Structure 1
C-alpha cells in the first residue's frame, strides 16, 4: 500500500470539500449545516492520523440516522443526495493511503453530478466546474505520487495546464452532445421525486406556514407580456383555491380538479397575452393572471379555474396564457359548491360565527353591504405584521377580537370564515400579487416573497368577486413587513437603492441562462437548426447528424492525443531529443530498453561514440534514479550537455 504524503492528502481532502460545497447549498438548511459541521469535524480529528475503526463505524451510523431523521424518513432525490454528502463528509477519516485518496476524489465527483438533480443554475454549474477541475489536478498529483517521481513533481501551474488540456479535449464532444443530442419530450424515467418539497404555493394553508415563503426573495416566476401590461394593482397571479376548513388548515378538495371549469361570461376588455416562466416547484399547480381564459397544451383546469400541469414542475417551464378580468364569474353556483363554500367546522371560533350571524339578521344588509362592513372594520382597526402572536385553537377569534394584526394568511382566512358565518359563499385564493418590472429585460419578476392570499365571495348576479382584505389595511398602519415597498418594486430592491440596476442586470443574466441553457428543448433545437438552413429534420436525421458530430469531435480528440503532451521536465525533454538523434542513425532505443543497456548497445555498434554517450547516460541515470547522486543538483549543466551532444554519421 502506497503511503500518502501530507500535502497530497490535504489536497485530496480539500478537493472533497470543494465537490461537497455545491450539493450542500441545495440541501435543506438543517441537513446542510449538520453535514458541513460533520465534514469539518471529521477532517480536523483525522488531520494527522486515521480515526479508529469503531469511531468511523459509529460516525457513519450517526450521520445516516441524522439525515434520515431530518428528512422525515422520506426517500427521494433530497434524501439520496444528503446520504451521498454524508458519506463524502466522513470519508477523510480513513484517507491516508494513495488508494483511499483516489477513492475519495473519485467518489466526491458524484456530489456535483447529484447537485444537478436538485438545481441547474449558473452558480451550481460554476461550482461544479471548479470542483471537477480541482479533482482532475489532484488525480494528476496522485499519479505522480504512485510513480515515485516526487522530487520532480509538476508545479500547481503545470497541473492547471494539464487539466485545462484535458477539458479542452473533451469540450467539442460536450458541445456536440448539448446542441445536437435529440431532446426528449418528457423527463427520464426512473428519476425519483424530491422527498422534501421546494418552498412554494401548496394546496394547503395553516397558521405560520407562509413565514418562510414571505421572507424568501428568490424568483418564483418571470412574465413577458405581448403588448401593454396590466397595472400592478391588477396583477393577481391565481394559484390554488382553498375551500375546506377544519378549524386550523385550509385545503383544496382533490375531486374539484376533475370537474369542468366554471363559465366566465362575458369578458370585458382588455385581454392580456403573456408568456410565463415558472421556476421548479415539484408540484403540478401553475399560476396565471386572474382569470385565465385559454389553456396551454399539457394542462388542465379545475372548476375554480386553477391550472394544473400534466407532470410535476421539476424543471424550469414556460407557458403561454391569455387572461382578462371577468364581468361575471360563475353566476350560477351549483348546490354542492354552495354547500362547500359555506362549510364551517363545528365548535370552532364561536365569536366570529356569532358576529356573522348577527350581521345577517340585521335588516337592510345585503351580501355586498356585509362585505363592505367587514372591509371597513379591517381598514379601521387592523394592522399588518409578519410577527403576530401565536394563535391557539380559536385562531380566527384571537385574530379578529384579540391582537388584530397579521399578514395575508390571517386576513384572508378570517374574512372567509366571517363571510361564511354570515351566509355568503366564500373561499380562499392563494397565489402571488404584484411584480417588479426589470428595466433591462423588459419583463416582470415575481418573487416568492410576493406570495399572497385573498378571498373570493359569491354575489348574486355577479358570481365570484375578488376581495383582498389585506389591501384594505391603511398603508400608514403597515409596519415590520416586506410588503412596505415602492410601487411595483420590492424590499430587496429598496435596500439596494441606487444599486437596483445591478439587481436588474443579475436577474436579466439569470433569465438569459434559463432561456439559453435550461430552456433549450426540442422546439428550441428545431428553431436553431432552421436558422442555419436545416428544415424539417426528423429524429433519424438528427441522430445521424449527432453521430457525425460526435465522430468528428472524437477524431479531433484522438489527433491532439496522438501528438502527445510536451515533456514538462527539461532533463527528460533533452534526453528524448538525444535518443531521437540516434534513431535517425538506425540506433533507436526500444521502449522497454533501459538507458544503460541502450548506451552499451550503441557503444558496440559505434565505438567512436562510446565514451561521450556512456558518460552522458551515466549522468542522466544518476540524476533520474540515484537517491543522492552528486550531479543531481546540476540540472542546467546536464541539460546543456545533452542538447550539445550530436552523434556524427559514419564516413564512407
Structure 2
C-alpha cells in the first residue's frame, strides 16, 4: 500500500525534473512541431497535476489525439522512430498524473526508457551529453522516492544529493568501460528491424521528379572520405550508388537481383585511387564508391552495374576501403538481357519525347554520339536549373521537355534516359553524390546529403558504358535556385566552427561508434595477440571486471564503515595518528580514558590531547544539540593537530 502514498512537493519536483531531463535527448530527434506539442503537453500536465488533476475522459481523449499526431508525423509508418515518438508522448502525458508514489516511479521509469530510446536513433556525443545528466537526475529521483517510501530523511539540498548519486555512478564507470571495450561483440546484432521500415534520410532505390527536394535541403553528413594519396578534383568526384534501370513512366527503380550478378570487366585508364569511406547509418544496404570501383569492399559486393551493396543493412557507422579508377572500357560487350533492360520504355507515356528522339535518330543515322550531343545542346540552350521547379503530371518527361523546361538532376537524368532509349541507345540512371568538401582540420572529405545527384550512363560499341551528366550541361547563366540559396546553409564566417564540429564528430565515430567486432579483435595486439578470439577477449573482460568489482566492493565497505558526520570523521583521523605506537586506541576504550592515557605517553602534547578528547566527549554526549560553530571549530582543531616526536 506504500505505493499509494501521496507525493510530497519536493519528491514530485525531483520526478518532474528527471522526466524533463530524460526527454531532452529524444525531443531533439523528433520533428520540430511534434517536439513542441509534446513539450507543451508535458509542461501543462506538470503545472496542473496537483491543482486540477485531469479526469479520465480527458486523459483518454488526449492520448488518442497525441497518438494520431505521432502517426501523422511519421506518415502512418510503424517502426523504430514511430515507437520512440509514442514513448515520448506517453512520458509527456504521464506528467499530468503525478499524485502518488506509484506515479512518481512510473514517471521516472518512462524517463529512463526515453533516454535509452534516443540512442536507438542517434549515438552521437550530443545525445550522450544530454543523457548523462538525465541519468543522474533519474537516479536522484529514485533515491528520493525510496526515502519517501521508507519514511527516511536523505541528503538535504540539491547539491549533496547530486554529489552522492554522482559518486555512485562514477564507481560504476570502470565496469561500464570494461563492458564497452572488452565484452565480446557479435558481428551482427541478435535482433533487427526490417529493412526500410525506418525513416532515414538518404539515397533510395527509386527516383521520381521532385522527390529529392527534401534530401537536397539536408546538410547532414552522408559519409566521409580519406584518400591514401592525392585526391582527384572535386568536380570529378562522382560517388556511385544505386543504378536505376526500370522506368514505369514516372519512377525509376533498380533491376531486382542485379546485385547478385557477376561484375563486368573494367579496363582502367590510369592508376587506381585508394581511399577509405566512413558511412553514416542508413538502415539500407547501399554503399558508395568513387566512379568506378575495381573490387568489392569488405562486407559487401559489386553487382552487374558495379553498384556496391552491403551484406547487411548499415545500422551503424561503417568503414570500408576501396580502389577506383577512371575506366578506358567498362563492359565493352553488352549481354542481351542488359541491352533489353537498358532500352525498355513503358507504352503510352511521353509520346512527344519519343517522337523527338526518333527524329534525331533519323537525322543522325548511325552516329550515336550525335544524338547524345543534340540532347546536351538542348539542355544547355533552352533549359534552366531550378530547385523550385513545378510538379509534373502523368507524362512527366513531356511536360519537362516541352512545358516547364526547368528542374534539377532528377528531371534531367530521367529525360535524358528516355530520349536515349527512344533513340535506340542503351541508357540507365546512376544515383549517388557528387563533389564534397575538404575539411582542413582532419584532411578528409565530407559528403553531405545535400550533394545527392543523379546522372546517366549510355552504352557505346567498343567503349562500353560512358558517363554523361545532363544537369552539368545547363549553361551557368541559367542556374537559379540552388542548394546554396536555400535557408539553413552555413555561411563562410561560420565555416571554421562547422569544421571543428564535424572533425569532433568524426573522431567520436572513430573512437566509439566504429568500435566493432573486427576492431575489438585487435585490442590485444599490444600484448602480442594479433587477432584475439572471442574467448580470449571474454577472459580479459572477466579478469578486468572481477578486479573492478573487487575494488568497488572494498571502497563500498570502507565507505560503509566510515562515519558520515564530519566531527566523527575528524576524530577518527585524530585518533589514527597514534595508531602505530603504545598510545593506540582500543575499540572499547572511551574517549576521555584514552585521552588521559595518550597524554601520559606523549607529555609534549598532553594538554592538547586531553583538551581535544574532552571537547569531543562533550560534543558526543552533551544533553543538548551543539551549535554548528562549535562543531566546525572542533573539526578544524582535530584536523590541525599533529603529535610532536
Mark yes or no: TM-score above 0.5.
yes
8 Å Cα contact 1:71-1:196 kept in structure 2 = no
**Deviates further, 341-350 or 53-62:** 53-62
Q: Write the distance in 2 (CA, Å) between the matches of 1:322 and 1:642.
A: 71
8 Å Cα contact 2:295-2:302 kept in structure 1 = no
Which of 479, 492, 496 is the matching residue for 1:496? 492
Instruction: State the 1:312 CA deviation.
Output: 0.3
Instruction: State the 1:527 CA deviation.
Output: 3.0
Instruction: State the 1:637 CA deviation.
Output: 5.5
* Alignment deviations for residues 56-97 of structure 1 (CA, whole Å, 9 cap, x no partner): 233333333443454455433223222222221111111122
Q: 1:454 to 1:161 in 2, by over 3 A?
A: same
8 Å Cα contact 1:378-1:472 kept in structure 2 = yes
- Where 1:293 maps in the other structure, the secondary structure is coil
Q: Write the distance in 1 (CA, Å) between the matches of 2:54 and 2:568.
A: 41
**Deviates further, 520-529 or 449-458:** 520-529
The 5 A counterparts of 1:212-227 are 212-227=214-229
**Deviates further, 140-149 or 426-435:** 140-149
Q: 1:147 to 1:255 in 2, by over 3 A?
A: closer
The residue aligned with 1:161 is 163
The residue aligned with 1:373 is 374
Does structure 1 residue 177 correspond to structure 2 residue 179? yes
Q: Give structure 2 stretches of 5+ with no counterpart.
A: 577-584, 592-613, 639-645
Instruction: State the 1:31 CA deviation.
Output: 4.8
Does structure 1 residue 6 correspond to structure 2 residue 41? no
8 Å Cα contact 2:49-2:99 kept in structure 1 = no
Which of 118, 121, 139 is the matching residue for 1:118? 121
Q: 1:614 to 1:216 in 2, by over 3 A?
A: closer
* Alignment deviations for residues 305-333 of structure 1 (CA, whole Å, 9 cap, x no partner): 11111100111101111111111112222
Instruction: State the 1:576 CA deviation.
Output: 11
Q: 1:261 to 1:190 in 2, by over 3 A?
A: closer
Q: Write the distance in 2 (CA, Å) between the matches of 1:52 and 1:582.
A: 65
Q: Give structure 1 stretches of 5+ with no counterpart.
A: 588-608, 621-630, 646-652
- Where 2:263 maps in the other structure, the secondary structure is coil
Instruction: State the 1:202 CA deviation.
Output: 0.9
RMSD, aligned CA? 3.2
Q: 1:459 to 1:30 in 2, by over 3 A?
A: farther
The 5 A counterparts of 1:188-199 are 188-189=190-191, 195-199=197-201
Instruction: State the 1:51 CA deviation.
Output: 1.4
The 5 A counterparts of 1:107-506 are 107-146=110-149, 148=151, 153-189=155-191, 195-264=197-266, 266-364=267-365, 366-482=367-483, 492=489, 495-497=491-493, 499-506=494-501
Q: 1:483 to 1:457 in 2, by over 3 A?
A: farther
Q: Write the distance in 1 (CA, Å) between the matches of 2:340 and 2:637.
A: 102
Instruction: State the 1:377 CA deviation.
Output: 1.2
8 Å Cα contact 1:235-1:289 kept in structure 2 = yes
8 Å Cα contact 2:42-2:96 kept in structure 1 = no
Number of residue equivalences: 601
The residue aligned with 1:596 is none
**Deviates further, 538-547 or 369-378:** 538-547
Q: Write the distance in 2 (CA, Å) between the matches of 1:363 and 1:191.
A: 52
The residue aligned with 2:556 is 561
The residue aligned with 1:648 is none
Which of 565, 570, 584 is the matching residue for 2:588? 584
The residue aligned with 2:60 is 57
Q: 1:527 to 1:325 in 2, by over 3 A?
A: same
8 Å Cα contact 1:77-1:192 kept in structure 2 = no
* Alignment deviations for residues 375-396 of structure 1 (CA, whole Å, 9 cap, x no partner): 1111111111111112122221
Q: 1:274 to 1:177 in 2, by over 3 A?
A: same
- Where 1:239 maps in the other structure, the secondary structure is strand
Instruction: State the 1:536 CA deviation.
Output: 5.0
8 Å Cα contact 1:482-1:491 kept in structure 2 = no
Q: Write the distance in 1 (CA, Å) between the matches of 2:369 and 2:573.
A: 97
The residue aligned with 2:608 is none
Does structure 1 residue 15 correspond to structure 2 residue 25? no
- Where 2:442 maps in the other structure, the secondary structure is coil
8 Å Cα contact 2:125-2:505 kept in structure 1 = yes
- Where 2:552 maps in the other structure, the secondary structure is helix
The residue aligned with 1:514 is 509
Q: 1:351 to 1:450 in 2, by over 3 A?
A: same
Which of 613, 619, 625 is the matching residue for 2:624? 619
8 Å Cα contact 1:227-1:273 kept in structure 2 = yes
Q: Write the distance in 1 (CA, Å) between the matches of 2:150 and 2:90.
A: 29
Q: Write the distance in 1 (CA, Å) between the matches of 2:119 and 2:369.
A: 52
Instruction: State the 1:25 CA deviation.
Output: 2.4
Instruction: State the 1:433 CA deviation.
Output: 0.2
Which of 516, 529, 533 is the matching residue for 2:524? 529
The residue aligned with 2:94 is 91
8 Å Cα contact 2:342-2:426 kept in structure 1 = yes
Q: 1:435 to 1:571 in 2, by over 3 A?
A: same
- Where 1:3 maps in the other structure, the secondary structure is coil
Q: Write the distance in 1 (CA, Å) between the matches of 2:527 and 2:168.
A: 30
* Alignment deviations for residues 383-438 of structure 1 (CA, whole Å, 9 cap, x no partner): 11111112122221221112211111111111111112222211111000001111
Instruction: State the 1:107 CA deviation.
Output: 2.6
Q: Write the distance in 2 (CA, Å) between the matches of 1:535 and 1:366.
A: 59
8 Å Cα contact 2:198-2:283 kept in structure 1 = no
Instruction: State the 1:441 CA deviation.
Output: 0.9
Q: Write the distance in 1 (CA, Å) between the matches of 2:372 and 2:636.
A: 97
The 5 A counterparts of 1:536-547 are 537-547=532-542
**Deviates further, 33-42 or 196-205:** 33-42
Q: 1:458 to 1:277 in 2, by over 3 A?
A: same
Instruction: State the 1:123 CA deviation.
Output: 0.9
* Alignment deviations for residues 283-314 of structure 1 (CA, whole Å, 9 cap, x no partner): 00111111111112322222111111110011
Q: 1:644 to 1:48 in 2, by over 3 A?
A: farther
- Where 2:428 maps in the other structure, the secondary structure is strand
8 Å Cα contact 1:273-1:322 kept in structure 2 = yes
Q: Write the distance in 2 (CA, Å) between the matches of 1:421 and 1:187.
A: 47
Which of 75, 79, 84 is the matching residue for 2:78? 75
- Taking structure 1 as the reference length, the TM-score comes to 0.85
8 Å Cα contact 2:101-2:149 kept in structure 1 = yes
8 Å Cα contact 2:524-2:531 kept in structure 1 = no
Q: Write the distance in 2 (CA, Å) between the matches of 1:138 and 1:193.
A: 39
- Taking structure 2 as the reference length, the TM-score comes to 0.85
8 Å Cα contact 1:78-1:195 kept in structure 2 = no
8 Å Cα contact 1:455-1:467 kept in structure 2 = yes
